[in-house]
Structure 1
Amino acid sequence: MRLSAILFVACCFLQACNAPQKQEVQSVPSVLDYVDPFIGTGGHVHTFPGATVPFGMVQLSPDGDTKGWDWCSGYHQSDNSLMGFSHTHLSGTGWSDLGDILVMPTTGEVKMVPGSKENPDEGFRSRFSHDNEEASAGYYRVFLKDYAIDAELTTTERVGIHRYTFPKSDAAHVIFDPTHKIFGKTLLSSVSVGKDVVRGYSHSTGWGGERTTYFTAKFSKPFSAAGVYKDGQKLEGQIEAEAEDAKAWVSFETEEGEQIEVKVAISGVSQEGADKNLKVEASGKDFDTVLAEAKAKWEEKLSRIQVTGGTEDQKTIFYTGLYHNFIAPNLWMDVDGKYWALDQKLQADGFANYSTFSLWDTFRATHPLLSIIDQKTTADFANSLIARYHDGNGTMPVWELTGYDNVCMIGYHSVSMINDALAKGVKGIDPEKALEAMIDASLTCKESSSDGACGLNEYIELGYVPSSVDKSVSKTLEYAYNDWSIASLAQKLGKEDVAEQYFKRSENYRNLFQKDKHRFWMKGENGTWHDDVEMNKWDNLLPHYISGNFWAYDYFVPHNVEDLVALKGGTEAFEKDMDAMLANNTPMVGDQHVDISGFIGKYGHGDEPGHHIPYLYNYTNSAWKSQRLINEIRNTMYANAVDGMVNNEDCGQMSAWYIFSSLGFYPLCPGESYYNIGTPLWNEAKIQLEDGNVFTVKANNVSPENIYVKSVTINGKPIDDLKLLHKDVMAGGELVFEMTNEHP
């Protein structure tokens, strides 16, 4: 080789060495990557996989069935065929309703009934495979095998956006079925078809009471044909129908891969409201634009907590849980502020109106969580409840759905939610108006749709709910806590007479404490204790305790744990009592209530009244036992799987327990100004607060083995009483745990 050639090669080599090297771009996972809406769609968790935005009025999701306990959300992982996509769903509840305004794309012969799961060919139902189905925050997609149609869904707050990719066909259709309901019953329905618009309504009854859902559906392409059906019969040449069973269909000629978009706005108030909702939220926007906006809304909400450490599965459990906590309550108001509640049309003034208040569940941890990370919306929740009294001339609800109080479960926990928000410094709530509504709730007896007579009048007269009233012990204990919430706010407002009255009522739990048994027990109206019962029989417990959960209610005095400890005989006796409960594996006989599950001894994590129990060892000399128990629950009761929880998700409460308990603290008593310290899961967690402050939790030396807290400080100062002050959280403090694998 010539010298010049050698020099040329050497020069090229040097240039190559000195040239900038192409770097592999490492994509940083988004919080959205850790959201799996399929978690909870199996087992008995009852979540839905479809599209929604935070606290949206529309939950656009597939329905596989409308009957059966495991189809409370309309969908279950055991499904292999779908009836279509309806626009309202419940998230993780133990009861059913909604499923308003079903839409289904098809090809071939027009069929106007869904058909059965056993024989989908009877109607417009289609088979599908979970292998050709996907879901993420704000998005759902499935391939409908029977029609070779790819269906995609996303939403704004009040509008569901459908995108259907059709095969080549001269008979492509979209079916509108406003009679479709999950467990409910349609009383009257209406449809009317225009050039590229379908309008109508469904008047129905169910768990959400009598309600009317109006809809306006706008297509991206004019129809080539359309028609309506009335009570199963096609109305030739007509484009309008009103009947108990009124449905519509529209048809197109499509090319292979042609996409047709449908925007479906709903309103609980009027047809005009649905039209306005469509115009304001979706006019001029295509599917991809709305999807991008939905993703941005979810990323903003979910990024309010950033965690590092843990496993990929734990992050998925955490962020999917956070996602579920931003689904309900649901916006229940048109863009012009009109909404329907208490069987009347109302106008929101200065707040956004919400419904879907599963308060018996969510007062415990979901609302306290939102009182930290979403105070703006929390104020709207509180004002929505208060408006039922001041604007609607009614009473605050027990369990409200679509503006109707179905009075499911017990207590008047609207007062807890509101008091917790005010105690946590949430702005925009009038405390005087709040107190008036709270007092009214405490004096209004409502028969529970799930648990019988309220017993409130007897509670006020006797100081307890007598055993002749169903679930008497549970009701007494929850009323007492609710009364503490009222007393707490009254005291802050300087209303000493009211505070004294309700603090006295808040001690009514003592009237059912049987000293000889060291237990909360049943008592008759004449003051005599109920006969002994065999504690291994569910039938003995179910009449007196919610779900028969004697053990959860035996520790339900969240507003005065110190007194509970004293009643149980002091610190050592209380600890032994807790130990015995958690070690109690006595076999039970009889029918077990569906809601009590996830047992460690007789602690059932699947039933919400006991969610504070793992933190009660903080009131003994063995706080490490709480830390061990919390870790066990995190590891055994939650999973990155379709059946990832031990029971109903209940509008966020099951997940809220995990979120708090992985951060390292928990609101044992909502309404108090502090949290009880637990054991953290993450190396670090940062909570982005709305005012710009950032609260940081660090766990030095944390690992799957190092679950015990050696020491904990806030802003460098030791926390000796295991209580984290809310004001330190909101000030953007730094909570630091030193972790170890050894306990005292």
Structure 2
Amino acid sequence: MLYKYALIILVFAVLISCKKEDRKIAQNTSKNTIHVDPFIGTGGHGHTYPGATVPFGMLQVTPVNGISSWDWCSGYHYSDSIAVGFSHLALSGTGIGDLADVLFMPINKEVDLSSTPLSRDSLAYKSKYNHKNEKASPGYYQVFLEDHNVNVELTTALRTAYHKYTFAKEDKQAVVIDLGFAINWDRVLKSSINIEDDYTISGYRFSKGWAANQKVFFVAKFSKPITKHHIFTDGNRIENKSSEGEKTSVQLFFDANNSSELFTKVALSSVSVENAKDNLETGDFNFDVVKNKAENTWNEALTKIEVETSVDSLKTMFYTAMYHAQVAPVTFSDKNGQFRKENDEIITAENYTAYSTLSLWDTFRAEHPLLTLTAPDKVSDIINTMLAYYETKKILPVWTLYANETNTMTGYHSIPVIVEAYQKGIRDFDAEKAFEAMKTTMMQDERGLNHYKKHSYIPYNLIDESVTITLEYAYDDWCVAQMAKALGKNDDYEFFLNRSKAYQHLFDNETGFMRGKSEDGKSWNEPFDPKHSNHREQTDYTEGNAWQHSWFVPHAVDNLITLHGGNETFTNRLEQLFTESSEITGDNVSADITGLIGQYAHGNEPSHHIAYMFNHADQPWRTQYWAHHIMDTQYNTTPNGLSGNEDCGQMSAWYALSSIGLYPMNPASAEYEIGSPIFEKATIKISEEKSFIIEAENVSNKNIYIQSATLNGVDFNQTSISHKQIIEGGTLHFVMGSQPNKNWGTTNN
């Protein structure tokens, strides 16, 4: 009898243990971070980095290959197998390279840092690595350096990076810090290193590159005392504990006897070494605690939209897209709120966090709309930052890098970001000041606005890329008009609404394209080839051709359809865009024209809204088909998984939104076009108490067409949904099928 009781207790204990283990596994597998692969986009032309950061973090601690080339804009490319160190600032998916500042490299030998390397081949501290001994996950990166027998692990908090180096037993333990190292557009102007005590070094690095005035101050603390050091400045060995010059580097040595592990933590500031010290987290070097906290922070960020599907690859693509969409913009203000502007003015962000790396030509399209759903608290902060940058030259930002206005790309697309936020009820900023900034920006004379104001369009013979710039200014004007209307400024509303019709001047009814027009208002730029591309010079289009740029009228699609002659002509031309041959003509074709489906170029942003335009021409099933086709062909789970530059989250945000069946074709309208959802269920977390659920019954890779829909149980037969409807919570239920229902979402119904 006792044996029976013992057996029952044992079985019960085993069952309880199994249930606990099952729960543990379930908890682990419920973490969305396990679906993220930071290596997606590090190959091809994705230009992403695999290193450690937290959502919108100040630091991006990541490996650097040491090559200056277009596909190494982030400092890293998956095709490479050489590392020169680990930097603390990086760009995610841009088409221009900069940053890779404050380079650390652990090594197991003494090296001469006096020579000026001609290439990475002459860097004494470089090392081979193998992807088999390399890992990355949200907030964590690891690689084994073969030449130095050092295992490197990296993680980060919001403003502090953590390094863990594990050396081979009895090997020399040393770290090289090279402030003279630079890649791509970057060039160091002045740098300094100061060994403050046995555990602490500090310094600065001033450089000129894409950011014309970049000042980075840093501090680093080590877990072991520095036993010896060699400082080099401009080729000379310095005997002191501090030095400054153009190019400064140091090799630090540590005692190898007591432990094979060496830890360091690093903080930066745009303001001063003192601010960097204030940014540096206090406490010990508990690497695993910081790593786990970073992972938890990411997991929370990745639960803002949760998807359900039995297809693991779709989860990987979705959550990696959500990850990439939250690495930029980056925190720029220090812990005390201070940050440096490009004119060296130090200001304090009062009651907001300042951000930089604002790739607005790209991100206004889907990245910022995504943030209005997933991180609305960040949106107002970003706008307040834009308004602070506006004060520098009384012009709103175009493309801001380390608080420098780079003036890269066309238009003033901080404007739609501001208007979209206001229209969506995100208003923790001074709306009157924002309107003043928008109006002042669009009434000044820089970047072709003088010609735009005089002619109501930009003549092709006066400035390059005239068609793209005109179309984008027209959209910006429409956005200003909407803000004026919302604020009761009727005269301004009428003025900017009228200017927003500028696209009409450039539409050539004979060819069906937007074309360069001369000052006389009559003659077109000849000869004309809609497939012709000339990169950034002697061209009417920015990084593209007439096929790709003629559709940018997101604020007046119905009128664009009328210009084409009606729905039939419009949809035939749209369809031809996707089915035309993919030949691009010209001797200087833009490298940005990638991800081609016909003449549609998903690898560059001007194409991103086009598939959703069928919705406005009574053929929503074509939107459903092409949106699904783009998702199916332009994204995958390999390092080559992005068809073009990631561009600070835009390429990924397009996927994240499109995959749940929504896309903001005109962001400032506060409306989302409906496409083709690919998940059985997607849950947008509006608040702790409220969610908006999108269900797709019968969805599969073949069942891509919407057969019917209900919103909160009521028939839903329209091809758009408002932000207001979404944030009220509820359920949008689609029934999907393999053949188009040509009555759903059309006037035929």
408 and 362 in structure 1: CA distance in 2 versus 1, 3 angstrom threshold: same
Asked whether the 8 Å contact 1:179–1:245 carries over to 2, the reply is yes
| Aligned equivalent of 1:708 | 705
- Confirm or deny that 1:507 pairs with 2:501: yes
- Confirm or deny that 1:546 pairs with 2:520: no
One-letter amino acid matched to 2:607: G
Return 499-508 or 179-188, whichever deviates more.
179-188
Q: Unaligned 5+ residue runs, structure 2? A: 743-749
Q: 1:28-427 counterparts in 2 under 5 A?
A: 28=26, 29=29, 30-112=31-113, 122-169=123-170, 171-183=172-184, 184-193=186-195, 194-236=197-239, 238-255=240-257, 258-278=260-280, 281-284=281-284, 286-343=286-343, 344-390=345-391, 392=392, 394-427=394-427
Q: What is the count of residue pairs matched by the alignment? A: 727
Asked whether the 8 Å contact 1:83–1:114 carries over to 2, the reply is no
* 471, 491, 494: which one aligns with 2:485: 491
| Aligned equivalent of 1:435 | 435
Return 711-720 or 585-594, whichever deviates more.
585-594
539 and 212 in structure 1: CA distance in 2 versus 1, 3 angstrom threshold: closer
One-letter amino acid matched to 2:325: N
SS, match of residue 40 in structure 2: coil
Deviation of 1:486 after TM superposition, in Å, equals 0.5
Deviation of 1:122 after TM superposition, in Å, equals 4.9
SS, match of residue 217 in structure 1: strand
| Aligned equivalent of 2:556 | 560
| C-alpha distance in structure 1 between counterparts of 2:538 and 2:399, whole Å | 21
- Confirm or deny that 1:522 pairs with 2:516: yes
One-letter amino acid matched to 1:197: T
- Confirm or deny that 1:464 pairs with 2:457: yes
| Aligned equivalent of 1:451 | none
| C-alpha distance in structure 2 between counterparts of 1:636 and 1:282, whole Å | 47
| C-alpha distance in structure 2 between counterparts of 1:553 and 1:192, whole Å | 52
Asked whether the 8 Å contact 2:325–2:653 carries over to 1, the reply is yes
Deviation of 1:18 after TM superposition, in Å, equals 7.7
One-letter amino acid matched to 1:636: T
Deviations 1:181-200 (A, max 9, x none): 23200011100112111111
Deviation of 1:232 after TM superposition, in Å, equals 1.7
15 and 264 in structure 1: CA distance in 2 versus 1, 3 angstrom threshold: closer
Deviation of 1:11 after TM superposition, in Å, equals 8.6
One-letter amino acid matched to 2:519: E
Asked whether the 8 Å contact 2:531–2:547 carries over to 1, the reply is no
SS, match of residue 226 in structure 1: strand
Deviation of 1:592 after TM superposition, in Å, equals 2.1
- Confirm or deny that 1:739 pairs with 2:736: yes
| C-alpha distance in structure 1 between counterparts of 2:7 and 2:214, whole Å | 78
Asked whether the 8 Å contact 1:424–1:726 carries over to 2, the reply is yes
SS, match of residue 617 in structure 1: helix
After superposition, the CA RMSD in angstroms is: 2.1
| Aligned equivalent of 2:647 | 650
Deviation of 1:94 after TM superposition, in Å, equals 0.6
One-letter amino acid matched to 2:423: A
SS, match of residue 172 in structure 2: strand
SS, match of residue 643 in structure 2: coil
| Aligned equivalent of 2:567 | 571
| Aligned equivalent of 1:721 | 718
Asked whether the 8 Å contact 2:159–2:268 carries over to 1, the reply is yes
| C-alpha distance in structure 1 between counterparts of 2:554 and 2:90, whole Å | 32
Deviation of 1:19 after TM superposition, in Å, equals 7.5
One-letter amino acid matched to 2:233: K
| C-alpha distance in structure 2 between counterparts of 1:273 and 1:157, whole Å | 14
SS, match of residue 683 in structure 2: strand
SS, match of residue 334 in structure 1: coil
| C-alpha distance in structure 1 between counterparts of 2:429 and 2:123, whole Å | 54
| C-alpha distance in structure 1 between counterparts of 2:282 and 2:117, whole Å | 34
* 473, 481, 484: which one aligns with 2:475: 481
| Aligned equivalent of 2:745 | none
| C-alpha distance in structure 2 between counterparts of 1:474 and 1:614, whole Å | 19
Deviation of 1:648 after TM superposition, in Å, equals 0.4
Q: Unaligned 5+ residue runs, structure 1? A: 1-6, 447-453
| Aligned equivalent of 1:449 | none
| C-alpha distance in structure 2 between counterparts of 1:681 and 1:44, whole Å | 25
Return 344-353 or 13-22, whichever deviates more.
13-22
SS, match of residue 206 in structure 2: strand
Asked whether the 8 Å contact 2:61–2:156 carries over to 1, the reply is yes
Deviation of 1:305 after TM superposition, in Å, equals 1.0
Q: Structure 2 length normalisation: TM-score?
A: 0.94
Deviation of 1:559 after TM superposition, in Å, equals 0.5
Deviation of 1:720 after TM superposition, in Å, equals 2.1
Share of identical aligned residues, percent?
39
SS, match of residue 254 in structure 1: coil
SS, match of residue 205 in structure 2: strand
Deviations 1:287-309 (A, max 9, x none): 12221221121111111111101
| Aligned equivalent of 1:3 | none
| C-alpha distance in structure 1 between counterparts of 2:582 and 2:71, whole Å | 28
| Aligned equivalent of 2:578 | 582
One-letter amino acid matched to 2:460: S
Deviations 1:378-409 (A, max 9, x none): 1100110012234x453221100000000000
Deviation of 1:234 after TM superposition, in Å, equals 1.4
Deviation of 1:516 after TM superposition, in Å, equals 2.6
SS, match of residue 540 in structure 2: coil
- Confirm or deny that 1:533 pairs with 2:528: yes
Deviations 1:244-267 (A, max 9, x none): 111122111214862111111100
SS, match of residue 589 in structure 2: coil
Q: Structure 1 length normalisation: TM-score?
A: 0.94
Return 102-111 or 130-139, whichever deviates more.
102-111
Deviation of 1:517 after TM superposition, in Å, equals 2.6
Deviation of 1:522 after TM superposition, in Å, equals 1.1
SS, match of residue 658 in structure 1: helix
Deviations 1:267-298 (A, max 9, x none): 011111111111xx344452122212211211
SS, match of residue 229 in structure 2: strand
Deviations 1:349-378 (A, max 9, x none): 121110100000000000000011111011
Deviation of 1:533 after TM superposition, in Å, equals 1.4
Return 111-120 or 724-733, whichever deviates more.
111-120
Return 190-199 or 113-122, whichever deviates more.
113-122
| C-alpha distance in structure 2 between counterparts of 1:463 and 1:128, whole Å | 57
| C-alpha distance in structure 1 between counterparts of 2:55 and 2:87, whole Å | 18
Asked whether the 8 Å contact 1:114–1:125 carries over to 2, the reply is no
Deviations 1:71-95 (A, max 9, x none): 1000011211111001000000011
SS, match of residue 250 in structure 1: strand
Asked whether the 8 Å contact 2:263–2:285 carries over to 1, the reply is no
| C-alpha distance in structure 2 between counterparts of 1:536 and 1:671, whole Å | 30
SS, match of residue 368 in structure 2: helix
SS, match of residue 555 in structure 2: helix
Asked whether the 8 Å contact 2:658–2:675 carries over to 1, the reply is yes
SS, match of residue 606 in structure 1: coil
Deviation of 1:429 after TM superposition, in Å, equals 1.8
Deviations 1:541-577 (A, max 9, x none): 9600111331222111000111011111011111111
